[in-house]
Amino acid sequence: MSRKYKFYNKQGLYFVSFATVNWIDVFTRQIYFDVLAESINYCRQEKGMELYAYCFMPSHVHFIFRSAKDQPMELLRDFKKYTAKKVIEAIENNPDSADL
């Protein structure tokens, strides 16, 4: 099965779900939930994300979204890249994160 998202209607509304590597429970502290929320705000303001619903779980995220710029693949790529960078920074800067 392909792991790539397939967006046949670039203007459509989509449900997507993605998980951390090996389903590790990364999002267990408020600081990491805040990173997710900041990433969403960034993508809404800068990338044209229209987010209709979301659910943060300890090891994965669910979205119902649309790309206002008709680029859902690029939008998700940018969201994941930005979020991963910020989560890694938060882990490195938070001494209590050693038990992740």
Q: Domains of the chain: which residue ranges?
A: 23-92
Give the DSSP per-residue string, 20-63. -GGG-----SHHHHHHHHHHHHHHHHHS-EEEEEEEE-SSEEEE
Q: At 55, which amino acid appears?
A: C
pLDDT one-digit tens code per residue, 53-94: 999 999 999 999 999 999 999 999 999 999 999 999 998 998
Lowest-confidence segment of 36-40, 76-80, 95-99 by average pLDDT:
95-99
pTM of the model: 0.83
Question: What contacts 49, CB < 8 A, 6 or more positions away?
Answer: 40, 43, 65, 66, 67, 68, 75, 79
Q: Cα separation of 35 and 37, whole Å?
A: 5
